[in-house]
Amino acid sequence: SEEWADCPLAFIQFKSRGPIALAGGDTAELMERLEEAQMSLGSMMASRYIGPFREGVQTWVAKLSTVSEVLEQWVHVQSMWIYLEAVFTSGDIAKQLPQEAKRFASIDKQWEKMMAKAYEARNVVQYCYGNDVLKNMLPHLLEQLEVCQKALSGYLDQKRAAFPRFYFISDAVLLEVLSHGSEPQAIQAHLSSIFDSIDAVTFDPVEPASILAISSSDGQTIELAKPVKAAGNIEEWLNVLLEAMRETVRGAVQAAALDCEA
């Protein structure tokens, strides 16, 4: 009782939004402590001298078991919320999935309110045990986040079907690429993952959305037969870039063959 009377939840600042996230390391340690305490209570319950203390021990077994389950679900919900928060705060993806973006905005508000109350309460047992609002809120948030996640997965599948080279990169990298659809220069860092031999592209200094040349990792550069306009849906202009790359290399090989014959 003394050990858990003053055991606080640990929070961290999330971006510039305040302490609305549980601290990962401290929360993991707290869950380990809960597990150890439950093992100790289990040993007490197995003792033949438990008689006078049975009721108190049973109460603490129920308390810590509930707190452990709530924290486990809470951490799971938080990991999904953090992942999707990064996705739906990106203007490009939010525009592509307006219904899910609206749904997530509602989830986000509920999460913020829940975390504000938790930050005020602090004590882990007091806040997690017997808190019906929290007990009902977490499954609701999880259900809504899973709806957003499912829609997002469908969206990524559509993008991969439109440009199969997206299958070469992880969901996290693909989301970063798609979130910069209106800023073509921002995907330079991921070109080598999408294309085997392209490390960078050269944009027209006069017309920034126009790609003039492609470069390999060893510094070889070749000008495209015709510029590629990096505008519109990113998977569409990447397909155009892919075809332009093939045409350019094909033309260079044919020109080299003619030179050899001459």
Work out the burial of residue 28: count CB atoms within 10 Å of its CB; fewer than 13 is exposed, 13-18 middle, 19 or more buried: middle
Length of the chain: 262
The pair of three-digit structure tokens given for residue 147, joined into one six-digit string:
């709806």
As to burial, measured by CB atoms within 10 angstroms (0-12 exposed, 13-18 middle, 19+ buried), residue 104 is buried
pLDDT at 83: 92
- CA nearest to 198, candidates 151, 241, 163: 241
Q: What is the pLDDT of residue 147?
A: 96
**Which structure tokens are listed for 221?**
């550069």
pLDDT at res. 262: 63
Residue 181 has pLDDT above 80, yes or no: no
**Mean pLDDT throughout 93-107?**
92
Q: Are 116 and 134 a contacting pair, CB within 8 Å? A: no
Mean pLDDT of the chain: 91
| Partners of 213 in the β-ladder | 202, 223
More confident residue, 68 or 1: 68
CB burial of 191-225 (b: ≥16 within 10 Å; e: otherwise) equals bebbbeebbbbebeeeeebbbbebbeeeeeeeebe
E strands in 8-154: 11-12, 21-22
Residue pair 86/21 in contact (Cβ under 8 Å)? The answer is no
Per-residue confidence (pLDDT) for residue 211, from 0 to 100: 93
Residue 258 CB burial class (10 angstroms; 0-12, 13-18, ≥19): exposed
* pLDDT tens, residue by residue, 103-148: 999 999 999 999 999 999 989 999 999 899 999 999 999 999 999 9
**Residue range 202-241, pLDDT digits in tens:** 999 988 889 999 998 888 899 998 999 998 889 999 999 9
pLDDT in tens, 20-64: 999 999 999 999 999 999 999 999 999 989 899 999 999 999 999
Write the burial class of residue 96 (CB in 10 Å: 0-12 exposed, 13-18 middle, 19+ buried).
Answer: middle
- Condensed to tens digits (0 to 9), the pLDDT of residues 231-261 reads 888 999 999 999 999 999 888 888 888 878 7
Residue 128's CB: how many other CB atoms inside 10 A?
Answer: 23
**Do the Cβ atoms of 106 and 192 come closer than 8 Å?**
no
The values of phi and psi at residue 229, to 5°, are: -85, 115
What pLDDT, in 10s, does the model give residues 142-157? 999 999 999 999 999 9
